Structure 1
Amino acid sequence: MMSDSHITKKAVHCALFILMLLWSWSAAAQLPGQQQVEAIGTGSITYNDVAAARDRAIDDALRKAVEQTLGTYIDSQTRVQNYMVVEDRILSWSRGYVSNYQITSELKKTPELYEVRMLATVNTSDLQRDADAVRNLIMSMGNPRVMILFDEQNIGQSYDKYYYFDVDMTASETAMMNKFLEKDFQVVDPTTVRQNKERDAILAAINGDNKAAASLALKQDAEVVITGKAVAKVATGINLAGMKSCQANLTARVIDADVGTVIATGSQHAAYPHIDEVTGGTLAIEKAAKALSDDLISKILAKWQSRFYDLNTVKISVMGLASYTQASDFKNALQYTARGVKNVFQRDLSGGTAEFDIQITGNAEQLARELDQRQIGDFAVAVIGASANKVTLRASMSNQESPADSL
């Protein structure tokens, strides 16, 4: 008969064996570059809209899951390698995203706050390799529509600035549009842009006028506009046994239409040998356009990934601030009123309207919900406009008529 101590030791060994099995199964279930974390998110309940508060709580939990994982990841890399910490936080935050999650509990924590607990799988590999993650990120950013405008000069073609309007789509526009569609972006048909009678505005946009590009995009209901130029030439001094070395150079910039700011730039070169220089030039342009599209898509997704999981900059325009003192008071109060606001920067004050850049964890829609019909310091505020990256407010001193009543 075995002693009690022997039975106890055997039980302990069995328990340890089971724990090791469970740990190995759990580790095997996670792919390299993945980490499972528990996160808690909260969302403000405004206008008794619990469903919207739940969505905001889920977004908040997703951000915190990535924050926990990357905080550990970056700290571990720093300890092991003892390298200088990268100053550009965008490079760090664009390395993580939630590939899937499971809500473990949720409740209305208070009359003004909704809470969600989740178990999230955070991936630190390249997001672009995960088609579902790319699709989810695009949806999280409001499914922005992209407009592509490219001026093009092929080999043997004399430059005419109005030639752009003589074709349905240039070769570069066609190649880039197909690339963006492959990634599930919504793309505005370039032929609808050519129907616009403001030809000089279109040409100004193509030639680098960001305001003209932004204005044009908004008229076409596009949130992002890509403008650029493509030029093809025959390289001299290269012997290809009768073939011609057709060379193409493309440059582009990506602009947030509602605020007119550049979010990415890129350039590409490609060569294509062909017996016919016009055909070769077209193929070289298409080749460079595809490479340029891959580069721009990567930069756009990295920017959006950072906006969603880390800090996002939203511009707000506040009407009704009559002096610098009022603008300064509003700025100071704003930092402590809306959830998720990290920094407020005053950019301009003229004609009773102040412009601010707000750094938040969240997006413009969430900020608009937080601010609408709120008291910010001595000011009653109403939201009178909102887009993907901008919120427009009307403010009045509390002892004056409500801003909502004056609309």
Structure 2
Amino acid sequence: MSLRLRTGLLSFLLATSLIGPAPLAAAAPPPSAEQIIQVTGQALITSTTASARQAALDNAIRSAVEQVLGAYVQSSSSLKTTDEFEKFQQQLMKRSDGFGRVVQVLAENQNNNTYTVSVRVAVARPTLEHELKAFLARKGDPRIIVAIPEQILRRPTPDPAAETEIQRALITAGYRVVDLKQAEKNNVRDVVRGTVSAQGLQELATRYQADLLITGEAFAEEYGNVLGQRAYTARLELKVIDLATAQIIFSDAFTGTGMSATDSVAGKTALQNVAKVAAPNLPKALLTWLSGSGQAASRTFSVRLSGVPSFKVFSETLASLRNTQGVHAALSRQYDAAGTLVEVEFDGSPEDLAVALEDLGLKVTGLSAGEISVSY
């Protein structure tokens, strides 16, 4: 799988490989491309009032950019970020004036040695998101299957509303959603309705050349009339699975409602609305997986080895791999006539691990966001 982001990769993630100081285009983006944030900025008065006022405005712009960035990656005590990503954020904030501009000053005052401004800032979301996406480009460009079985209780479901909304959000965000034919979609939904084994997930990955599966269950149920409209409530249980390792990287449940003059439209609207509630949680989950940060284990890659001359050589390779910088664990999952499989916990990108494997004398024959094929 190619690891280059497609032209036009879009609206939620991040930036040119650790950001050089190249200037941004001077022209302001169109209003539709901006998000207006109301913030407060402060600065100490160390020389003139005018310079303190400008410093307070700059502080407000940085705060607004941080808020928009936080919509994608919200740091907390429960979320670790890699040193590389922290460095990226610091570089980004140094250029915050290129992503935002003050469009309205609401209030300003001087209190002792502090100058404070309350302003509205227009943040150029596409420019900021382009920076974020370029950062992820070095981490891999996963192919994603979205298959969410859903139903409107006691009524037929004409087509998948929640699944469609999640797909739309991912595509809008620039992710590569696997385009399945209707029969293939039905097949995948049937698979995920049952108990999916690790082997079954790997078969999905192989068959559709995919890296991640977004699945779960969605249903909508009537709860009465509201102002002459049919009212439905919906629940969406959503999880994201790394197909190479069967590791669940995100799991949560959401609720929503919908109303319409007819039952079928009200049920579909409720399913679509609950998916809209869930979709904003996916960027951080995918970023965490791509960057190898978070509370869970480091990002795990499947390494398939072919042409292994002997078990002794295989054991020596494992030992060398475990001593490689950035590798936290290398576990043998399969060694037989059918092939050899190793799961590797690694801090870097797929390309970084591929280079490390070649440094061990192996030949890389295949590469995706979650799996690397090598031969002796």
CA contact (8 A) 1:230 1:248 kept: yes
Q: Distance in 2 between matches of 1:120 and 1:342?
A: 32
Cα RMSD (Å): 4.3
Higher mean displacement: 134-143 or 249-258 = 134-143
Gaps (5+ residues) in structure 2? 1-45, 67-74, 97-124
Q: Distance in 2 between matches of 1:311 and 1:184?
A: 24
Q: Distance in 2 between matches of 1:154 and 1:270?
A: 13
Match of 2:143 in 1: 145
Q: Distance in 1 between matches of 2:279 and 2:65?
A: 28
The reply on whether 1:219 has 2:214 as its aligned counterpart is no
Amino acid at match of 2:144: V
Amino acid at match of 1:227: T
Name the CA shift for 1:208/1:171 in 2 (closer, same or farther; >3 Å): farther
CA contact (8 A) 2:322 2:329 kept: yes
Deviations 1:290-316 (A, max 9, x none): 1111122332223324459x9543232
Gaps (5+ residues) in structure 1? 1-15, 36-73, 78-85, 103-118, 123-127, 395-402
Q: How does 1:150-299 map to 2 (within 5 A)?
A: 150-157=148-155, 170-189=160-179, 192-196=180-184, 200=187, 202-207=189-194, 209=196, 211-235=199-223, 240=226, 242-299=228-285
CA contact (8 A) 2:322 2:330 kept: no
* Cα offset, 1:264, TM superposition: 1.4
CA contact (8 A) 1:202 1:216 kept: no
Amino acid at match of 2:169: K
Match of 2:214, SS? Answer: strand
Name the CA shift for 1:200/1:306 in 2 (closer, same or farther; >3 Å): closer
Name the CA shift for 1:302/1:154 in 2 (closer, same or farther; >3 Å): same
Deviations 1:75-117 (A, max 9, x none): xx9xxxxxxxx5x563687983625859xxxxxxxxxxxxxxx
Match of 2:62 in 1: 31
CA contact (8 A) 2:146 2:215 kept: yes
Name the CA shift for 1:94/1:385 in 2 (closer, same or farther; >3 Å): closer
* Cα offset, 1:277, TM superposition: 2.0
Aligned pair partner of 1:388 in 364, 369, 375: 369
Deviations 1:317-364 (A, max 9, x none): 3342644x654433222234x5x3332332434316554333333222
Amino acid at match of 1:299: A
Match of 2:333 in 1: 348
* Cα offset, 1:369, TM superposition: 2.4
Name the CA shift for 1:273/1:93 in 2 (closer, same or farther; >3 Å): farther
Match of 2:363, SS? Answer: strand
CA contact (8 A) 2:333 2:343 kept: no
Match of 1:57 in 2: none
Q: Distance in 2 between matches of 1:287 and 1:96?
A: 34
* Cα offset, 1:217, TM superposition: 4.5
Name the CA shift for 1:332/1:121 in 2 (closer, same or farther; >3 Å): farther
Match of 2:343, SS? Answer: strand
TM-score, normalised to structure 1, is 0.57
CA contact (8 A) 1:94 1:303 kept: no
Amino acid at match of 1:314: F
Name the CA shift for 1:27/1:283 in 2 (closer, same or farther; >3 Å): closer
Larger Rg: 1
Q: Distance in 1 between matches of 2:134 and 2:144?
A: 17
* Cα offset, 1:200, TM superposition: 4.8
Name the CA shift for 1:155/1:137 in 2 (closer, same or farther; >3 Å): farther
Deviations 1:41-84 (A, max 9, x none): xxxxxxxxxxxxxxxxxxxxxxxxxxxxxxxxx9xx9xxxxxxx
Amino acid at match of 1:183: A
Which structure's relative contact order is higher, taking Cα pairs within 8 Å and 6+ residues apart? 2
Match of 1:248, SS? Answer: strand
Q: How does 1:62-101 map to 2 (within 5 A)?
A: 90=80, 96=86, 98-99=88-89
CA contact (8 A) 1:386 1:392 kept: yes
* Cα offset, 1:232, TM superposition: 1.0
Higher mean displacement: 288-297 or 209-218 = 209-218
Match of 1:250, SS? Answer: strand
Match of 2:344, SS? Answer: strand
Q: Report how many aligned residue pairs link the two structures.
A: 286
Q: Distance in 2 between matches of 1:248 and 1:94?
A: 40
Name the CA shift for 1:100/1:188 in 2 (closer, same or farther; >3 Å): farther
Match of 1:31, SS? Answer: helix
Q: Distance in 1 between matches of 2:261 and 2:136?
A: 42
Q: Distance in 2 between matches of 1:206 and 1:134?
A: 35
* Cα offset, 1:284, TM superposition: 0.5
The percent identity for this pair of structures is: 16
Match of 1:222, SS? Answer: coil
Match of 1:212, SS? Answer: helix
Q: Distance in 2 between matches of 1:313 and 1:230?
A: 29
